[in-house]
């Protein structure tokens, strides 16, 4: 845990323009700075940095926040990790004391495993560079594969020698068997699996006699390893991986993501290859937006991980039959995630590793751009060659392509592909559209049938909640306007009560909501209100500063947006007084000058919205009661209706019949 005073020092020292400037070229425009957004592809800069407020916002993709949230977003790291990066940038020391024995014992398994993995990674690297066996076998092999020393160091490749030297070194450092092994007797899957325990209790190294490729998390922590054997042995596999643990699940990891993430985000494109050497060779050739599925078939978690950085994937496969089949298997999963996918088949006999080593970066990129094809062209051409003029095989081809199109979640994208497919296959567009719709309905039905009854009911509940949420868009809009006032002016006094006590804006808004039993329907709005109530009496509390620099990135993002977006004053008041029946021109200097009026206006609007919802719900219940001949309920509903209508009329009159809709 970083002490609060240290966090305050980090915030005080941090300059948003300097932090963003490390990643984005900024130009002065008035009081602000502007540049190309690092989070989406654009040609005209819409990414604005405000040094005065210490925030950024992209008016293209909507990303916003302050320095910590910017680091979290671009580095894909946690809040604490972002603070550490900023502390390092501004030379602020974060004091960390050595844990006591009791605290060390309480430290959770996950953190202990990270410590063991970090030690192992450094130990393997040391063995590669600083031992005779490591240089003669491991380093020699890597250099024979054409890797430069800087690439070997960049990816922290290491070597595990023969015998059980790592186990001995780890035990000497005091690491326990619980975290060195992967013994389910301790707890399911707890432990790194770096060592294997024999029946007599001895440990030996899982990765002995292998070159080691570590896997890193997005924030740079070692989560697992892959080891390539250096000795010919038909009894064991060429590669061995860390076993499943709380840190590592091979099918969820992408090799090289740590080194590639910034390049993927900046270029808004990712090249996906199969093996570790493919990644390193591509990086060495100067192509750095590339990651690997780690020698396994592409999985949905891996695709989702890439999707956090880009919506554009180009998959590079070997040009042999195995590579072609792999390409076909991966297409539909990528499409289901709403990602734009391109396929590139390399020349026969080549893989990304060999191709990158025999070509420079420009040649590799030119080949990819020349030979990449969208999945329709790729799949249609490939299957057309197999089907020939056989009507049945051609029919199977069309169904296969239709199934892929049906996997695309976006309706407009589906329609574009349907049109292209119709032209390529000389098939009427209407027929393909009908088949795609049928395939989508079938996929949805199969998905529901595979779920347990409880999950099916949960899905229905979720769908019902979505329908309810769609009816409350006006309520949520008005509530967000109130939240905007709390964030901007929460600490400002709006009036003095009968006890001569000042009442703050946020305090008044929340009290009014509680008095009328009005609760926010969005969890984040509730969280902001709770945070305000917890801190509004703190000494020197300023709502805007607090919400822009808290430790909840969701709050930071919303607060930044509400601070940077101009409050729609003219849309609410049209520069007119609402306190009199006669329209009267006023010229308020700022929102704060007429804060009490704004607050009362929005509170009335939200009440008006709720009463409208209640009347609408009453009409629905009334129809149902009439259908059921439930006369008692009908009488009850009809007796309540005039009261609600009267309240609505009163509020409408107070609002001057100018109720604001979003």
Are 179 and 32 contained in the same domain? no
Is the pLDDT confidence value at 72 over 70?
yes
Is the pLDDT confidence value at 656 over 80?
no
Are 151 and 242 contained in the same domain? yes
Are 34 and 149 contained in the same domain? no
How would you list the strands of the sheet with 340-345, edge to edge?
290-292, 270-273, 312-317, 340-345, 373-374
Last residue of a domain, one of 33, 55, 89: 89
Whether 460 maps to a domain, the answer reads no
Whether 661 maps to a domain, the answer reads no
Closest CA to 354 of 46, 145, 65: 145
Give the pLDDT band (50/70/90) at residue 350.
confident
Are 84 and 137 contained in the same domain? no
pLDDT at 154: 95
Is the pLDDT confidence value at 571 over 50?
no
Are 239 and 135 contained in the same domain? yes
For helices 523-535 and 553-564, the axis angle rounded to 10 degrees is: 90
Q: What is the pLDDT of residues 16-29, one digit of tens each?
A: 988 888 888 788 88
Are 551 and 630 contained in the same domain? yes
Are 397 and 415 contained in the same domain? yes
Are 320 and 445 contained in the same domain? no
pLDDT at 43: 72
Give the pLDDT band (50/70/90) at residue 654.
confident
Q: DSSP 3-state helix, strand, coil percentages of the chain (rounded to 5)?
A: 55, 10, 35
Whether 570 maps to a domain, the answer reads yes
Are 76 and 117 contained in the same domain? no
CA pair distance 148, 152, nearest whole angstrom: 6
Residue of 451 and 371 predicted with greater confidence: 371
Q: What is the pLDDT of residues 455-507, one digit of tens each?
A: 444 544 444 444 444 455 677 878 888 999 999 889 988 878 777 788 888 98
Is the pLDDT confidence value at 397 over 70?
yes
Last residue of a domain, one of 371, 398, 421: 371
Whether 522 maps to a domain, the answer reads yes
Are 232 and 285 contained in the same domain? no
- Checking 106-111 for CB contacts under 8 A at 24+ apart, the result is 109/178, 109/179, 109/187, 109/190, 109/246, 110/246, 110/247
Whether 274 maps to a domain, the answer reads yes
In angstroms, how far is CA 372 from the centroid of its own chain?
27
Whether 123 maps to a domain, the answer reads yes
| pTM across the whole model | 0.56
Are 203 and 145 contained in the same domain? yes
CATH number at residue 152: 3.90.980.10
Q: By three-state DSSP, how is residue 427 classified?
A: coil
Greatest mean pLDDT among 48-52, 293-297, 654-658 lies in 48-52
pLDDT at 270: 92
Whether 659 maps to a domain, the answer reads no
Is the pLDDT confidence value at 362 over 70?
yes
Identify the domain containing residue 263 by its residue range. 257-371
Residue of 593 and 204 predicted with greater confidence: 204
Q: What is the pLDDT of residues 119-154, one digit of tens each?
A: 999 999 999 999 999 999 999 999 999 999 999 999
Per the structure, the count of domains in the chain is 5
CATH number at residue 10: 3.90.580.10
CATH number at residue 327: 3.40.1360.10
Residue of 530 and 213 predicted with greater confidence: 213
Mean pLDDT of the chain: 80
Residue with tokens 């024979």: 144
Q: What is the pLDDT of residues 593-639, one digit of tens each?
A: 677 888 888 888 888 888 888 888 888 888 888 888 888 888 888 88
Are 606 and 485 contained in the same domain? yes
Last residue of a domain, one of 194, 225, 248: 248
Whether 454 maps to a domain, the answer reads no
């Amino acid at each position: 845990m970083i002490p609060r005073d240290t966090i305050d020092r980090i915030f005080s020292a941090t300059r948003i323009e300097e932090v963003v400037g490390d990643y984005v070229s900024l130009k002065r425009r008035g009081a602000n700075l502007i540049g190309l957004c690092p989070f989406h592809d654009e040609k005209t800069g819409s990414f604005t940095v405000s040094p005065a407020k210490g925030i950024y916002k992209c008016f293209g993709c909507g990303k916003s926040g302050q320095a910590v949230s910017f680091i979290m977003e671009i580095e894909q790291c946690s809040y604490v990790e972002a603070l550490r990066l900023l502390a390092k940038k501004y030379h602020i020391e974060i004091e960390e004391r050595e844990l006591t024995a009791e605290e060390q014992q309480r430290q959770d398994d996950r953190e202990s495993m990270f410590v063991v993995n970090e030690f192992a990674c450094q130990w393997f690297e040391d063995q590669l560079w600083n031992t005779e066996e490591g240089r003669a076998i491991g380093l020699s092999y890597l250099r024979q594969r054409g890797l430069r020393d800087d690439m070997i160091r960049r990816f922290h490749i290491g070597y595990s020698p023969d015998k059980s030297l790592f186990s001995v070194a780890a035990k000497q450092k005091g690491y326990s068997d619980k975290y060195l092994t992967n013994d389910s007797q301790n707890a399911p899957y707890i432990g790194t699996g770096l060592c294997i325990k024999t029946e007599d209790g001895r440990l030996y190294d899982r990765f002995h006699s292998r070159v080691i490729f570590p896997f890193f998390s997005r924030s740079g922590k070692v989560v697992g390893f892959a080891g390539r054997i250096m000795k010919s042995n038909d009894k064991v596999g060429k590669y061995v991986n860390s076993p499943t643990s709380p840190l590592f699940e091979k099918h969820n990891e992408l090799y090289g993501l740590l080194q590639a993430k910034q390049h993927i985000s900046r270029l808004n494109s990712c090249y996906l290859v199969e093996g570790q050497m493919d990644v390193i060779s591509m990086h060495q050739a100067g192509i750095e937006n590339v990651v690997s599925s780690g020698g396994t078939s592409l999985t949905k978690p891996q695709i989702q991980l890439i999707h956090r950085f880009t919506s554009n994937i180009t998959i590079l496969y070997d040009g042999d039959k195995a590579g072609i089949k792999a390409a076909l298997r991966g297409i539909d999963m990528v499409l289901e995630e709403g990602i734009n996918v391109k396929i590139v088949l390399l020349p026969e006999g080549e893989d990304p590793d060999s191709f990158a080593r025999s070509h420079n970066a420009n040649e590799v990129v030119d080949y990819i751009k020349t030979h990449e094809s969208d999945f329709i062209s790729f799949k249609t051409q490939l299957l057309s060659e197999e089907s020939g003029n056989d009507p049945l095989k051609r029919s199977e081809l069309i169904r296969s392509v239709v199934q892929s199109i049906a996997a695309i979640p976006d309706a407009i994208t589906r329609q574009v592909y349907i049109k292209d497919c119709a032209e390529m296959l000389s098939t009427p567009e209407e027929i393909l559209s009908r088949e795609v719709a049928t395939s989508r309905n079938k996929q949805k039905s199969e998905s529901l049938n595979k779920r347990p009854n409880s999950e099916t009911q949960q899905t229905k509940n979720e769908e019902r909640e979505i329908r309810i949420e769609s009816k409350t868009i006006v309520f949520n809009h008005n509530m967000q306007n109130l939240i905007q006032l709390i964030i901007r002016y929460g600490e400002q006094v709006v009036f003095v009560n009968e006890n001569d006590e000042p009442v703050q804006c946020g305090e008044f808004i929340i009290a009014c909501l509680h008095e009328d039993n009005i609760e926010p329907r969005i969890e984040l709005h509730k969280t902001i209100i709770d945070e305000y109530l917890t801190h509004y009496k703190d000494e020197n509390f300023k709502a805007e500063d607090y919400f822009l620099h808290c430790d909840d990135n969701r709050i930071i993002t919303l607060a930044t947006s509400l601070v940077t977006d101009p409050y729609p004053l003219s849309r609410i008041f049209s520069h007119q007084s609402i306190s009199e029946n006669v329209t009267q021109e006023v010229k308020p200097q700022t929102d704060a000058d007429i804060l009490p009026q704004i607050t009362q206006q929005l509170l009335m609007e939200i009440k008006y919205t709720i009463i409208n919802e209640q009347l609408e719900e009453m009409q629905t219940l009334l129809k149902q009661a009439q259908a059921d001949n439930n006369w008692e309920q009908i009488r009850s509903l009809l007796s309540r209706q005039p009261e609600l209508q009267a309240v609505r009329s009163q509020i409408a009159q107070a609002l001057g019949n100018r109720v604001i809709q979003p």
